[in-house]
Amino acid sequence: MIGLANAIRYAALSLLITAAYGDSLVIKNVHVHPVTAPDIENGQVLIVDGKIADVGKKVTGRGAKIIDGHGLDLYPGLINAATNIGLEEIGSLRDTVDLNEIGEFNPQLMARMSFNPSSSHIDVTRSAGVTSVLTLPGSGGGRPGPEATVFYGQGAVMRLDGWTWDDMTVKAGAVLDMNFPVIGNAPPKPFPEMEKEYRKKLDQIADFFENARRYQKAKAAANSDFKPDPRFEAMIPVLEGQRPVFVRAARERAIKEAVAFADRQKIKIIIAGPEEIGDTGPLLKARQIPVILGDTLALPLHDDSPYDSRYTLPNEFYKAGVKICFGTFDVQFARNVGFQAAAAVAFGLPYDAAVKGVTINAAEILGVDSQLGSIDKGKLADLILTDGDPLEAKTNIKMEFIDGKQVSLENRQTQLYEKYLNRP
Amino acid sequence: MRIAIFFLITFAIARARAETFLIKNATVMTVSKGKIENGSVLVENGKIAAVGHDITAPAHGTVIDATGMFLTPGLIDCHSHTAIEGNVNEGSVSDAAMVNVKDVINPYDVNIYRALAGGLTVSNVLHGSANAIGGQTVVIKLRWGKDAEGMLFAGAVPGIKFALGENPKRQGYPRTIFSGPNARERRYPGTRLGVEDVIREDFTKAKIYQQEWAEYNARIARGENPIPPRRDLQLEPLVEVLEGKRYLHCHSYRSDELLMLMKLSDEIGFKIRTFQHALEAYKVAKEIAARHIGVSTFSDWWSYKIEVVDAIPYNAAICVRKGIVTSLNSDSDELQRHLNYEAAKTMRYGGLTEEEALSLVTLSPAKQLGIDKRVGSIDVGKDADLVLWNKYPLSNYSKAMQVWIDGTKYFDVADDLKARADVAAKKKVLLEKEKARQESDKKKAPSGPKNPKAPGEVL
Amino acid sequence: MKRALAVAVAGLVCAVCVRAAAPSAIAIKDARIVPVSGPDLPRGTVLLRNGLIEDVGPDLTIPADAWVIDGAGLTVYPGFIDGLSTWGVSPPPRPEPAAGSNAASPPRAQGPEDRPEDDAFERAADLMNPSDSRLQMARDAGFTTAAAFPERGIFGGEGAIVDLAGARGRDMVVASPIGQYIALRTRGFAAGFPNSLMGVIAYVRQTYLDLDWYKRANVVYAAHVSGNKRPGYDHYLEALGNSPRVLLPATEAQQIDRMLSFGVELKQPFIIYGLHEAYRRIDELSRSKTPVFVSLKWPAAPKDGDPANVPDYRTLVMRDQAPGVPGLLARAGVSFGFYDDGVDKTADLKKAVRKAIDAGLAQADAIRALTLNVAEIYGVADRMGSIEKGKIANLVVTRGDAFADKTKIEYVFVDGQQFKPSEDEPAKAAGDTAALRTTGAPPALGPQYPAVRAMSDHGVETSVCAIRACE
């Protein structure tokens, strides 16, 4: 029983290489799952300066520290493409939540600069094999109706290890978090009236973009009188197509409207948290608009929807040729992102698409695929060593590396576990 | 061979009444007696008639070839709010013992069917947690298609919901949503101290009430003419708890409050059947185990409020190791659809064995609800509540294919597929009819004043 | 707006002017007569005198003093009866908040013993307002009578059978008490007990247990005063104890199941009202022999709804099947009637009944459901519900079959008083109950005691204007 309690510690200790293992490291005797290439049985990975220097049947790392993987599986670290980690500690305590700032247009707000590097969610999520996350400044909540928030601010890709938020930033300003307005989010009014309200809101957004463009032009032709404005400044990467807009759009109509909006504004968007596909598949495919899916394990939209209509949703987007990845849109269950992908497999999604949906596809959609998402030469060495499929709940994460550095799998929960398991 | 054997393609069985059938070549996960590879289960008259390797096919009945598939007992959820019509909480008072979930079971709640499709067959349907003493609870079988009466698990001991901690005291806070221009009246209690007080006081009242009836009956027996005591629906359930006729299921989180109720129960003399959620049960597992109280917890919930900061996904595992009858519950219309996935998490968090993990959502909740002689494992004589899975049920890739309750099939993936096409077609017709109705209503002389508003004009 | 004002002014003017002469008797001759209690008379005469049906038959001798209406081409039906209505009932005044208290609502109830939402003691018979504009609206649709109830709270109060015209409120009352109106409604979370459906059910259950106890305790006390604590006086239970039956709501199938067993549990004679999903429970209703009232507010798509909100299958089935319920009930032999359920336009009322007929309710069954059935359910068939000698002269006279497309209602007789249906919906005058309902304001003083006492009972009016003068 004690041995069981110490399973994690054992895994850590028996394989632990001291933090100061130098600049290069070889992980050998592992089943490598690069995700972007065929699996390598009994393979090896060379890590130099925190990056993957080589991967194959045999790598040469002169003077490198060696870790024996004992035939375990090596995967790229999982990516959760939608969370609020670092910005929310205890959901019901407003003082510990830094989401949904007041105001409709806040494109200048930056999630990463308020990311709490000591949040207990970081350790807990990391120990489940999630090595990086998109942290968002919004939660889709906030005020409904005409004063609903439009832009929450910028989300950042964060690695779940480091001393400061600065260390932990993989990509600042990765996305602009947007709450797409919906018709009829207000108390019941006749539909035409609500639609009018909605159109007005869209006009407001269009005006904001128009002003942002005027600002952009004025800045380009800048002289000494030019007055900078943080809000419009933050829109320039969006207008230039450098920063995709993370568009929260759940229903078919909202998705279509969001696509039309992106067409009009000529901006790059990601559809986030869709709850149905309707006939949006071809629209999204034609424009190569990717989708960040929320929980697969969710209730159907309508009483008479098929019981598995949310379970099959990932596969429906996949079949439509849309690039998908997974996010949990929360903090509490951020560690379970792999299980959400697995549930989609139970209901039709090809297994490879599920794995990619928590690794390389997430990296591509968030624009960090040059650094993350697969075991490929040149990428950051964010790796997990497991005793099986990382999407399965019964699988254990045995060892984990972020930027080539082995990270602790301990957290407050494992500490409490050991403490109380051994209570006399 | 005069035996009529129907080697049906596994799922192509029309829904039938409780029938005789044999499931063969399945991996049978009995939960009570390990796993039987290539096993068979014979069902007769709604009961499990035989379990093993070589069971002769019945003379009259169906044989289901479940090669490659897994058979488990129906899953059991010890904490559900599914099928409650109206508000889940009678939250207006700190003691709502007079209300009864049994009165408001809605057999048309589609979440029953959705849960069934995830292998769930039994639910403990509970009142919410807004009050120290909540409403009465009821155990149902998810017999989709039956009326409310037909859902009830006959013979299951009824329960009552208690609640400790933040939820029952929330309406006593001087601030939060209870202040400002729309201030609501505060309700006692506003602290954990007050929660204890409410429970103590009301049990005290219940004992007096019990006494009043005893005295009344004694006076009647003596030939006197007393006025009978007024029947009090708020106190009667507590009397039943005192008399062991009603199970006490207590929503709780922190170890201090768990211990508080245990000490109070020692002092007053009532039994706690289960602690619900009990996310810090692992801290007082010894005390809980000593009193034979069950723990029905979450797999990995935490951090949503301050009283769950010390919640750990190892809670179930520690409780099991300390000898507590432990279950995992859903408390959610969604989560109840995949309690098998929830159970699998305890293999990662705490290293439970496959059978221990599966028991958390089958035999153990059955024990907690006092229905383990009837359900919870695949044993001869038990109700034929069975689930056939396409894959190893503790895998996140598994899916329930067929579900039986009392030997009657209530879910079949193949039937479901057929039914959805049927409903879609019928719905299309109904929508067209509705459109036609609307148009004909418009055409007919408009009702009301002779100058009706122009169509689309905003009223 | 202008129009409404004009009618209102006309009403006021009339109130002090016209008074037509009243005939001592009226004979409707050569009309088709549908007595409901017996076979139709293809050609006959109905004779009215003193507010009663003096005689009916194929070959009546018409007395010399009678004013004669040529009934050729006309059909005479008993006046229609609404099974559960608030027509004519003024909302009871709310208690004034205590001085200095800024809370408009009563104190938060702590449990059943506080009797929240309990108006059991209110009696429709004491609250009748003959100037309620809905009376004319209802008469214009052929309704002469309603089982009227106060409707506030969970225990709404005691109903009365009322005729839908009269000089004073009390003149309208035919029978009282007839039943306690129960609504399983809840207020907001902050309003106190009960705030859930299960809470309301527990509350009603406890109240009837209390009633049972109250009765028994008083019997014991009366016989053995010494040594027993007095049971006390309970205003609410006194009222409940005098009620002959209870009305329970159930629209959906599971609610019907629930109320069928709850009614039995309460040990009271009961009626179920609502019934839109009763097509799933016809057998159960038939077996239970429980009388029911079907709501005429058929479920329908909301106006100005979001086109993207496609209703679910069950809702669609209910919208499609609900109007078929009366036909099914009739064929299964269930004793049923209709109630307006807030439908407050003449044309809509007619259209709603027509829907049930189109969905399979036989014309004769529809008429019976609107007349004799309701009278039987409330035990007043000895005085109304059919065209029989000695019954109250409540009649509807139509040109064509009632509820057929082109049919026009020519006359309505209430207590022998003749009304000519208006082509217009009545204007809502200030002080109308209907208007009060939305504002929640207390009623203006004394609608039951009109300042202008225009005429004696049972007078026959010959103009629309004069009818308003009755106020």
Q: What domains can be seen in chain B, in order of their start residue?
A: 1-73+377-414 (2.30.40.10), 75-375 (3.20.20.140)
pLDDT given at position A222: 79
Q: Which residue of chain B comes nearest to A396, CA vs CA?
A: B348
How does pLDDT run across C41-77, given as a tens digit for each residue? Answer: 999 999 999 999 999 999 999 999 999 999 999 999 9
Distance CA B289, CA C47 (A): 87
Distance CA B136, CA B152 (A): 14
Residues A104 and A55 in one domain: no
Q: A306, A300 in Cβ contact below 8 A?
A: yes
Amino acid at B198: V
Q: Which residues pair with C149 in a beta bridge?
A: none
Q: B287, A423 in Cβ contact below 8 A?
A: no
Residues A225 and A367 in one domain: yes
Task: Give me the mean pLDDT over the B341-357 stretch.
Answer: 98
Q: B143, B231 in Cβ contact below 8 A?
A: no
Residues A307 and A410 in one domain: no
Nearest to A90 among B306, B398, B420 (CB): B306
Would you call B341 and A345 a contact, using CB atoms and an 8 Å cutoff?
no
Q: Summarize chain B as % helix, strand, coil (round to 5).
A: 35, 20, 45
Residue A157's pLDDT band (cuts 50, 70, 90): very high
Classify strands C143-148 and C80-85 as parallel, antiparallel or unpaired. parallel
Residues A48 and A21 in one domain: yes
Distance CA B365, CA B79 (A): 9
pLDDT given at position A19: 39
Interchain CB contact of A307 with C (< 8 Å): no
Asked if the structure places residue C327 within a domain, the reply is no
The terminus-to-terminus CA distance of chain C in angstroms comes to 22
Tokens 């170890």 belong to B255
Q: Which of B269, B314, B262, B268 is nearest to B293 (CA)?
A: B262
Kindly calculate the radius of gyration of chain B based on its CA atoms and give it in whole angstroms.
Answer: 26
Distance from CA of C194 to the nearest CA of B (A): 7
pLDDT given at position B60: 84
pLDDT given at position B10: 30
Q: Which residues pair with B295 in a beta bridge?
A: B275, B326
Task: Give me the mean pLDDT over the B130-156 stretch.
Answer: 97
Would you call C312 and A302 a contact, using CB atoms and an 8 Å cutoff?
yes
Handedness of CA A328, A331, A336, A338 (dihedral sign): positive
Interchain CB contact of C313 with A (< 8 Å): yes
Tokens 């005789």 belong to B20
Selected residue with higher pLDDT from C120 and C432:
C120
Task: Give me the mean pLDDT over the C179-194 stretch.
Answer: 85
Distance CA A340, CA A273 (A): 13
Distance CA B375, CA B124 (A): 13
Asked if the structure places residue C110 within a domain, the reply is no
Distance CA B332, CA B81 (A): 7
pLDDT given at position C330: 98
Distance from CA of A149 to the nearest CA of C (A): 22
- Selected for mutation to probe chain C from B227, B234, B422 (highest C CB count within 10 Å) is B227
Nearest to A304 among C304, C306, C313 (CB): C313
Residue A186's pLDDT band (cuts 50, 70, 90): low
Q: Summarize chain A as % helix, strand, coil (round to 5).
A: 30, 25, 45
Selected residue with higher pLDDT from B123 and B181:
B123
Asked if the structure places residue C44 within a domain, the reply is yes
A 20-59 residues inside an 8 A Cβ radius of B: none
pLDDT given at position A23: 81
Tokens 């008993």 belong to C78
Q: Which residues pair with A158 in a beta bridge?
A: A133, A169
Distance from CA of B429 to the nearest CA of A (A): 15
Residues A330 and A204 in one domain: yes
- Of all residues in chain C, the percent with pLDDT exceeding 70 is 81
Asked if the structure places residue C58 within a domain, the reply is yes
Residue C426's pLDDT band (cuts 50, 70, 90): low
Interchain CB contact of A421 with B (< 8 Å): yes
Range of the structural domain that residue C22 is part of: 1-79+388-422+454-471
How does pLDDT run across B81-95, given as a tens digit for each residue? Answer: 999 999 999 999 999
Distance CA A139, CA A94 (A): 13
Q: Which chains touch A (3 or more CB pairs under 8 A)?
A: B, C
Distance CA C32, CA C399 (A): 10
Examine the pLDDT at B12 and tell me if it is beyond 80: no
Residues A241 and A347 in one domain: yes
Q: Is the previous residue joined to C194 through a cis bond, with omega within 30 degrees of 0?
A: yes
Residues A56 and A177 in one domain: no
Distance CA B337, CA C442 (A): 52
Distance from CA of C391 to the nearest CA of B (A): 33
Would you call A90 and B303 a contact, using CB atoms and an 8 Å cutoff?
yes
Residue C38: DSSP 8-state: S
Distance CA B143, CA B409 (A): 9
Residue B440's pLDDT band (cuts 50, 70, 90): confident
Q: Summarize chain C as % helix, strand, coil (round to 5).
A: 30, 20, 45
Residues A52 and A186 in one domain: no
- Of all residues in chain A, the percent with pLDDT exceeding 70 is 93
Range of the structural domain that residue A178 is part of: 78-372
- ipTM value, please give it: 0.93
Torsion of CA A281, A282, A283, A284, to 10 degrees: 50
Selected residue with higher pLDDT from C97 and C293:
C293
Interchain CB contact of A307 with B (< 8 Å): yes
Residue B455, helix vs strand vs coil: coil
Would you call C206 and B233 a contact, using CB atoms and an 8 Å cutoff?
yes
Task: Give me the mean pLDDT over the B129-152 stretch.
Answer: 97
Torsion of CA B455, B457, C2, C8, to 10 degrees: 70
Residues A260 and A145 in one domain: yes
How does pLDDT run across B189-216, given as a tens digit for each residue? Answer: 999 999 999 999 999 999 999 999 999 9
Task: Give me the mean pLDDT over the B113-134 stretch.
Answer: 98
Residue B57's pLDDT band (cuts 50, 70, 90): confident
Q: C260, C284 in Cβ contact below 8 A?
A: yes
pLDDT given at position C108: 75
Nearest to C425 among B227, B445, B449 (CB): B449
Interchain CB contact of C317 with A (< 8 Å): no
Q: Which of B299, B318, B332, B307 is nearest to B120 (CA)?
A: B332
Helices (H), C276-414: 282-288, 313-321, 325-331, 346-358, 363-370, 372-377
Q: Which of A11, A131, A17, A12 is nearest to A76 (CA)?
A: A131
Rounded mean pLDDT of chain B?
91
Interchain CB contact of B393 with A (< 8 Å): no
Examine the pLDDT at B278 and tell me if it is beyond 90: yes
A1 contacts on B by Cβ (under 8 Å): 321
Residues A305 and A386 in one domain: no
Interchain CB contact of C305 with A (< 8 Å): yes
Number of folded domains that form chain A: 2
Residue C229: DSSP 8-state: -
Backbone torsions φ then ψ of B195, nearest 5 degrees: -60, -45
Q: Which residue of chain C comes nearest to A195, CA vs CA?
A: C306
Would you call A90 and B302 a contact, using CB atoms and an 8 Å cutoff?
no
Examine the pLDDT at B307 and tell me if it is beyond 50: yes
Would you call A183 and C306 a contact, using CB atoms and an 8 Å cutoff?
yes
Token representation of residue A83:
């969370």
Interchain CB contact of B205 with A (< 8 Å): no
pLDDT given at position C448: 28
Distance from CA of C356 to the nearest CA of A (A): 27
Selected residue with higher pLDDT from C129 and C448:
C129
C 297-326 residues inside an 8 A Cβ radius of B: 300-301, 310, 313-314, 316-317, 319-320
How does pLDDT run across A250-307, given as a tens digit for each residue? Answer: 999 999 999 999 999 999 999 999 999 999 999 999 999 999 999 999 999 999 999 9
Q: How many other CB atoms are found less than 10 A from the CB of residue A424? A: 3
Q: Which residues of A43-71 are buried (b: 16+ CB within 10 A; e: fewer)?
A: bbbbbbebebbebeeebebeebbebebee
pLDDT given at position B182: 53
Residue B403, helix vs strand vs coil: strand
Q: Which residue of chain C comes nearest to B228, CA vs CA?
A: C217
Backbone torsions φ then ψ of B113, nearest 5 degrees: -65, -40
Distance from CA of B276 to the nearest CA of A (A): 20
Token representation of residue C157:
């109060």
Residues 6+ apart with CB under 8 A from B245: B157
Torsion of CA B4, B7, B11, B12, to 10 degrees: -70
Triad B71, B75, B79: Cα angle to 5°:
170
Number of folded domains that form chain C: 1
Q: How many other CB atoms are found less than 10 A from the CB of residue C18? A: 16
List, as one string, the DSSP characters of B156-179: PPPEEEEE-SHHHHGGG-SSGGGS
Looking at residue A338, which CATH number applies to its domain?
3.20.20.140
Examine the pLDDT at A3 and tell me if it is beyond 50: no
Examine the pLDDT at C130 and tell me if it is beyond 80: yes
Rounded mean pLDDT of chain C?
85
Distance CA B373, CA B380 (A): 11
Q: Is A184 exposed, middle or buried (0-12, 13-18, 19+ CB in 10 A)?
A: buried
Distance CA C315, CA B51 (A): 44
Amino acid at B380: V
Nearest to C304 among A192, A252, A302 (CB): A192
Distance from CA of B244 to the nearest CA of A (A): 32
Distance CA C76, CA C52 (A): 15
Distance CA B23, CA B43 (A): 8
Interchain CB contact of B313 with A (< 8 Å): yes
Looking at residue A390, which CATH number applies to its domain?
2.30.40.10
A 87-126 residues inside an 8 A Cβ radius of B: 89-93, 120-121, 124
Q: C7, C426 in Cβ contact below 8 A?
A: yes
Amino acid at C287: R
Token representation of residue C369:
């459901």
pLDDT given at position B172: 82
pLDDT given at position B15: 43
Q: How far is CA B114 from the centre of its chain?
A: 14
Residues A5 and A153 in one domain: no
Examine the pLDDT at C32 and tell me if it is beyond 90: yes
Distance from CA of C210 to the nearest CA of B (A): 7
Asked if the structure places residue C72 within a domain, the reply is yes
Examine the pLDDT at C238 and tell me if it is beyond 80: yes
Task: Calculate the alpha carbon distances from A135 to A99, A165, A422, B59, C236 in Å.
Answer: 11, 12, 36, 63, 60
Looking at residue C396, which CATH number applies to its domain?
2.30.40.10
Residues A10 and A90 in one domain: no
Q: Which of C198, C199, C342, C182 is nearest to C270 (CA)?
A: C182
Asked if the structure places residue C354 within a domain, the reply is no
Q: Is the previous residue joined to A244 through a cis bond, with omega within 30 degrees of 0?
A: no
pLDDT given at position C376: 98
Examine the pLDDT at B51 and tell me if it is beyond 80: yes
Task: Give me the mean pLDDT over the C175-196 stretch.
Answer: 88
